[in-house]
Structure 1
Amino acid sequence: MAIFLSTDRLVLREFTPDDAGLLVELDGDPDVMRYLTGGRPTPPEVVRERTLPRILAHYRRPPGLGWWAALSRASGEFLGWFEFRPTRDGDAREVELGYRLRRAAWGGGLATEGCRALIDKGFTELGVERVTANTMTVNTPSRRVMEKAGLRYVRTYVGDWPEMIDGAEHGEVEYALTRQQWLRPDGDDVRREPRPA
């Protein structure tokens, strides 16, 4: 198991081919999928034949970028995943930040903790210059996580989605944080001390 980073409560590690069942369970929860598919589960064969192979393929690209299985540091229990991957293939200067956690992991600050750790690592070790994140405008909990992690609202936009889900008529929001904003020494400074591994 290749560990990417640890925080006070999380361990982020590479996915393995044996993790298909964990992803099937995660994507099978209608509440987890509410703002992604309107609550429809991802079929298990899609997870096994498309989702997991795509995740595993990213580990062959720039080091430190891709999707990371999130485990409880205390118990080793699978909590979900975090995404930290280039928006343009092979270019680590701009990365997309994302997360998908089991309901049992909601509401305790774990999403914010994982996002902050990834942002810190990206800016201090991986050559990242800009972090971006997107969600549905109506996904207030996810927007709060982005803001607590230091990202700033950029814009609201309407995507061309093949299938509309409840709330999509309000569009999507983009949040972002540049390395320069993260480093700013004034009152807007969002830099945090690196967390111990």
Structure 2
Amino acid sequence: MIYLETSRLQLRDWEETDLEPFSRLNADEQVMKYFPKTLSIEETNAFYKSIISEFKECAFGLYAVEAKENKEFIGFIGFHRTTFEADFTPCIEIGWRLKKEAWGKGYANEGATACLQYGFSKLGFHDVYSFTADVNKPSIKVMMNIGMSFIKMFSHPKVEKDSPLNKHVLFHIKQK
């Protein structure tokens, strides 16, 4: 099923054929630069299963994204229920991960903007959050481009305290 469509992207259900390029995406050191580590095939399969499970449970999730021009899987953009221990959780998080060949084309802005509109108008969201390591300037730029506002810095409870990725920024947007 296609959930959202923009001029250049389709945000859709995941297909078994997405697993192989999804594994490559999660194993790419450049793509995973702002995460604690790359993911193995087994970890990617577990992540895929959790995405599918969240769709079944919530009727939303991280949508598979394909470029309309060639029908190629380029990553994901969408929503996730964040439940780790923090003063802003549980919450709905918007996130994205695209293969490096798709970077610099505005796809994250385009897809995330469409997701926010869908989340507020069709899914009934009132608030959406996003967060990343404070060194992840590309994702912070996307958060600002899609209209989110900086709330605060925090130490991510699931990232080692001495990691350069522990310090995170929290952004937020409300339904207008």
Q: Normalising by the residue count of structure 2, what TM-score does the alignment of the two structures yield?
A: 0.89
Residue number in structure 2 paired with 1:56: 52
Per the TM alignment, residue 3 of structure 1 is displaced from its structure 2 partner at its CA by 0.8
Per the TM alignment, residue 155 of structure 1 is displaced from its structure 2 partner at its CA by 0.6
Residue number in structure 1 paired with 2:32: 33
Residue number in structure 2 paired with 1:13: 12
Q: How many percent identity over aligned positions?
A: 29
Residue number in structure 2 paired with 1:151: 148
Judge conservation of contact 2:127–2:174 (CA < 8 Å) in 1: yes
Judge conservation of contact 1:11–1:72 (CA < 8 Å) in 2: yes
- Please, which runs of 5 or more residues in structure 1 have no aligned partner? 184-197
SS of the aligned residue for 1:34 comes to coil
Judge conservation of contact 1:32–1:101 (CA < 8 Å) in 2: yes
Judge conservation of contact 1:94–1:129 (CA < 8 Å) in 2: no
Residue number in structure 2 paired with 1:191: none
Judge conservation of contact 1:17–1:52 (CA < 8 Å) in 2: no
Per the TM alignment, residue 165 of structure 1 is displaced from its structure 2 partner at its CA by 7.5
Per the TM alignment, residue 61 of structure 1 is displaced from its structure 2 partner at its CA by 1.7
Residue number in structure 1 paired with 2:168: 172
CA–CA separation in structure 2 for the residues paired with 1:33 and 1:164: 19
SS of the aligned residue for 1:36 comes to coil
Q: What is the letter of the counterpart of residue 11 of structure 1? A: Q
Matched, 1:46 2:43: yes
Q: 1:113 to 1:16 in 2, by over 3 A?
A: same
CA–CA separation in structure 2 for the residues paired with 1:85 and 1:161: 16
Count of aligned positions = 170
Per the TM alignment, residue 166 of structure 1 is displaced from its structure 2 partner at its CA by 5.8
Per the TM alignment, residue 110 of structure 1 is displaced from its structure 2 partner at its CA by 0.6
Q: CA RMSD in A?
A: 1.9
